[in-house]
Amino acid sequence: MNDLTISESNRPHWGVLGTTLWGIVLFGVFSIAQTVGALGAGIDTSQGMPTAQELEQMLPQLVSNGNVLIMATLLAFVVTVPLMLLVIRLKRGSSIRDYLALHAASLRDYVKWIAIMAIAVVVLGLIGESMNEKSADAFTQGVFDSANNKVMLFLAVAVLAPVFEELFFRGFLYKGLANSRLGVNGAIVLTSLLWAVIHLQYDWYPIFMIFVMGVLLGLARHRTGSIGVPIAMHAFNNFSSLMLISLGVG
């Protein structure tokens, strides 16, 4: 694994400034694509376009609407992932495979880190309950109940979202930050903070949980040298949440 890490570090990659600027561009495109997808799925234009005030009033309902989430996630994924790959290729001599850590990991690694994630989520959930803090279950329940196509919801939430978010946070951003003065630890903490911040639809404790999960995902990325492991951890967590809701357990 040490040899793999050294090999990755020697590959050309964007520095902190380039990673930051391109990261802003990529996230901006992602946000715009999500917004367009959400508005396209959630607004009935047969009565004309709503005013800015009407859009502001509709926003809370759009955010928690499963059909809107599906369309927003699909469009953002289709637009942003190819752009991310293009940005990587713009760095002369770079390798998409090495940049995003598209390396194989052992089955043992997958099982180990998914188990660690599951245990952490359970423990954090129990701590939250003991503190009477709100969980993300209510939001997830609303998304699940309002989605007409449950299969597409699982695809968006448990496949596309984890793939994009891990490629962006534990792939693109991590690569540029870990090879800077921040080092691996700084890159893991910073990407976890950024990942947590984008989940502002939740209360503070679920956001804290997301930060802790981000640290685990970053550690898995570093220790295994493979983006596949954090993607699997992220997908397993999202799939489990939806499945529990669908079974009436959440």
One-letter amino acid at 66 equals G
Distance in angstroms (rounded) separating the CA atoms of residues 146 and 102: 35
Q: What does the chain come to in residues? A: 250
Domain count, the chain: 1
Give how far the C-alpha of residue 77 lies from the chain's centroid of Cα atoms, to the nearest Å: 11
Q: pLDDT, tens digit, for every residue of 128-170?
A: 988 887 777 778 888 899 899 999 999 999 999 999 999 999 9
Looking at per-residue pLDDT, the higher value among 5 and 93 belongs to 93
pLDDT at residue 2 is higher than 50: no
Distance in angstroms (rounded) separating the CA atoms of residues 195 and 178: 16
Query: What is the CB-side half-sphere exposure of residue 221 using CA atoms within 13 A?
Result: 34
- Which helix (H) or strand (E) segment holds residue 70: the answer is helix 66-90
Angle in degrees, 0-180, between the axes of helices 183-197 and 204-224, rounded to the nearest 10: 140
Q: How many CB atoms lie within 10 A of CB 78?
A: 13
pLDDT at site 148? 92
Looking at per-residue pLDDT, the higher value among 142 and 62 belongs to 142
Cβ atoms of residues 140 and 242 within 8 Å: yes
Residue 80 CB-density burial (10 A; 0-12 exposed, 13-18 middle, 19+ buried): buried
Q: pLDDT, tens digit, for every residue of 15-49?
A: 999 999 999 999 999 999 998 888 777 665 445 55
Distance in angstroms (rounded) separating the CA atoms of residues 183 and 206: 27
Distance in angstroms (rounded) separating the CA atoms of residues 69 and 89: 30
Distance in angstroms (rounded) separating the CA atoms of residues 106 and 109: 5
Q: Which two tokens stand for residue 102?
A: 């598209």
Q: Full-prediction pTM beyond 0.85?
A: yes
Cβ atoms of residues 29 and 55 within 8 Å: no
Q: Please identify which residue in the block is written with the tokens 């607004």.
A: 43
Cβ atoms of residues 8 and 101 within 8 Å: yes
Q: Which two tokens stand for residue 8?
A: 């990755």
List phi, psi (to 5°) of 245.
Answer: -65, -45
What percent of the chain clears pLDDT 90, i.e. is strictly above it? 68
- Provide the domain limits for residue 166: 2-246
